[in-house]
Structure 1
Amino acid sequence: MSTSAPGTTPHYYVPAPSRHPAFAAFGLFFVIFGAANWINGQDWAKWLLAFGMLWLFGVLFQWFRDSIHESETGQYGRKIDLSFRWSMSWFIFSEVMFFGAFFTALWWMRSHSVPALGSVDNALLWPDFKAVWPSVAPGTTASPGGIIEPFTTMTPFWLPTINTALLLTSGVTLTIAHHLLRENKRGATILWMWITVLLGATFVGVQGYEYFHAYHELNLKLTSGAYGSTFFMLTGFHGFHVLVGMLMLFFITLRLMKGHFTADKHFGFEGAAWYWHFVDVVWLGLYTLVYWM
């Protein structure tokens, strides 16, 4: 992967030609092709999607393995470390924009769309429409014809509050682990990292139970009007990001157990920590705007 001799630290890193980008594009083709046909009713397409995902995961495993080997053999210098930091920063910025779009959609719906539908201008079209939020009564929020089944909204007690405590605690344990790594206390770092991973996994489990409760006891679904769609889109995408962040921390912990990272050089750890703290901040916004307001 590198044109530099093993053990050296080049100022500018020039990678050798690699098969990984082409192989990743091959897998992504089957992912997109399979997904597009599956959602259009082609049952066979789900197998293409599964093949593409497995292929892509295999490529990423080899790609990350090669990158880790290059890092551990001293082929990355200060310029590469700087580029990694900028790359992770821009990636997190793109995630901020991603969630910002959903938060904006929630705000626009509550502050503009729903009041506009209940205005005098629309009274002739929907005389019985009730412009209230959340949309829990027949005839409210995008259902003037009463086609949305009755449902109950999700309150902050107690599952969302428990998950808030779990995520905030995980941010503390991760920070403790970071300080211990900087003090070169590897054993203690690994212990606190496993605690952080366990807290993240517990969050995902609690949210899964929350969704089961919503569907089977509250009749709250993705099709439950504007409230249901925004609730599941926001919390669902956040839950997926928690799962990804938890897997990142899990693999960082395995690398720590293999002796990777030092007190002075551990951006792989820091990048995962940045992502996890971002996930924490997004959840605080969700907890306030979705569950309390």
Structure 2
Amino acid sequence: MSSSTHGATPYYFVPGPSRHPAMAALGLFFVILGAGQWINGADWGKYSLAAGMVGWLFVLYQWFRDAVAESQGGQYGHKIDISYRWSMTWFIFSEVMFFGAFFTALWWARAHSVPELGSLNNAILWPDFKAVWPSMAAGATASPAGIVEPFTTMGPFWLPTINTALLLTSGVTLTIAHHALVAGNRSKTIAFMWITVLLGVTFLGVQGYEYYHAYSAYNLKLSSGIFGSTFYMLTGFHGFHVLVGMLMLLFITLRLQKGHFTPERHFGFEGAAWYWHFVDVVWLGLYILVYWL
């Protein structure tokens, strides 16, 4: 896997030829193919999607297993550490842009689209339309034709506030685990990592119940005008990122139990922690802009 002498850390690790990128691309091809065909009525599409997803996840498992083995084998030196840090930085930056697009959509709807529909220019076409945000009934949303069923908006109490407390607490427990790892206290690190993972799982459970309550009691759906679409897109994608971050922390915890990472070398831990703190910050923005304002 490297041109360096066996047992010595290379200046820059150069992996050998690998099938993983091609196999991962093949799995994703069948995922996209199946999804596209399934939503267009082809029953076989769901099997293609499932097979592609299973294959893709299996490739990722092998790929990460090889990377962990290379790291534990002492192949990754200072240059690779820098590469991973830059890679994670740019990945999180791309996620910032991703959520920035949805936050911008929310702002544009509230500050421009809805007011424009209620302006004098549209008064003749939609005389009964009220340009208010948020709305609770058809005719008061960006649906002047009255095609949106009446619904109730989601406020901050109590489920979103509980989830805010859960995520903020998880940020604290993760920081405690990080300091414990740097101090060489592995047992304390593992304990607080499991607490962090449990808090993440609890957040997802509470959000699932919130969605059920919103759909059944408030009639708030993805089709509930611009409010419903922005609400579910923002909170739903954030929930997906919480799931990904929780899985990252779970696997890092399992690696800690196997004796991986040292106080001096633990970027795998740090990268997952960066991502989790990013998820926390995004939720704070969501909590204020979606539930309070």
Question: How high is the TM-score relative to the length of structure 2?
Answer: 0.98
Are residue 283 (structure 1) and residue 283 (structure 2) matched? yes
- Structure 2 match to 1:29: 29
Pairwise CA distance, 1:129: 1.0
Pairwise CA distance, 1:5: 4.0
Long gaps (5+) in structure 1: none
SS of the residue corresponding to residue 179 of structure 2 reads: helix
Pairwise CA distance, 1:8: 1.8
- Structure 2 match to 1:168: 168
- Structure 2 match to 1:214: 214
SS of the residue corresponding to residue 12 of structure 2 reads: coil
Query: 1:92-146 deviations in whole A, cap 9, x for unaligned?
Result: 0000000000000000100011000100001111111111111212212221121
- Structure 2 match to 1:248: 248
Pairwise CA distance, 1:6: 3.8
CA contact (8 A) 1:3 1:16 kept: no
Amino acid at match of 2:269: F
Give me the whole-angstrom Cα distance separating, in 2, the residues matched to 1:111 and 1:104: 10
Give me the whole-angstrom Cα distance separating, in 2, the residues matched to 1:77 and 1:289: 43
The more displaced of 40-49 and 249-258 is 40-49
Are residue 97 (structure 1) and residue 97 (structure 2) matched? yes
Amino acid at match of 2:104: T
SS of the residue corresponding to residue 256 of structure 2 reads: helix
Q: How does 1:227-238 map to 2 (within 5 A)?
A: 227-238=227-238
Q: Which 4+ residue blocks in structure 1 deviate beyond 3 angstroms?
A: 1-6
Are residue 114 (structure 1) and residue 114 (structure 2) matched? yes
Amino acid at match of 2:212: F
- Structure 2 match to 1:266: 266
SS of the residue corresponding to residue 155 of structure 1 reads: coil
- Structure 2 match to 1:63: 63
SS of the residue corresponding to residue 76 of structure 2 reads: coil
The more displaced of 157-166 and 117-126 is 117-126
Are residue 123 (structure 1) and residue 123 (structure 2) matched? yes
- Structure 2 match to 1:151: 151
Give me the whole-angstrom Cα distance separating, in 2, the residues matched to 1:55 and 1:30: 9
Provide the identity percentage: 76
CA contact (8 A) 1:171 1:276 kept: yes
The more displaced of 82-91 and 8-17 is 8-17
CA contact (8 A) 2:137 2:149 kept: no
Question: How high is the TM-score relative to the length of structure 1?
Answer: 0.98
Give me the whole-angstrom Cα distance separating, in 1, the residues matched to 2:3 and 2:55: 27
Amino acid at match of 1:102: F
- Structure 2 match to 1:223: 223
Amino acid at match of 1:7: G
Amino acid at match of 1:167: L
Amino acid at match of 2:58: G
Q: How does 1:7-46 map to 2 (within 5 A)?
A: 7-46=7-46
Report the aligned-residue RMSD.
Answer: 0.8
CA contact (8 A) 2:137 2:148 kept: no
Amino acid at match of 2:221: K
Amino acid at match of 1:275: Y
Give me the whole-angstrom Cα distance separating, in 1, the residues matched to 2:290 and 2:103: 9
**Between Structure 1 and Structure 2, how many residues are aligned?**
293
Give me the whole-angstrom Cα distance separating, in 2, the residues matched to 1:213 and 1:42: 32
The more displaced of 134-143 and 167-176 is 134-143
Give me the whole-angstrom Cα distance separating, in 1, the residues matched to 2:135 and 2:76: 54
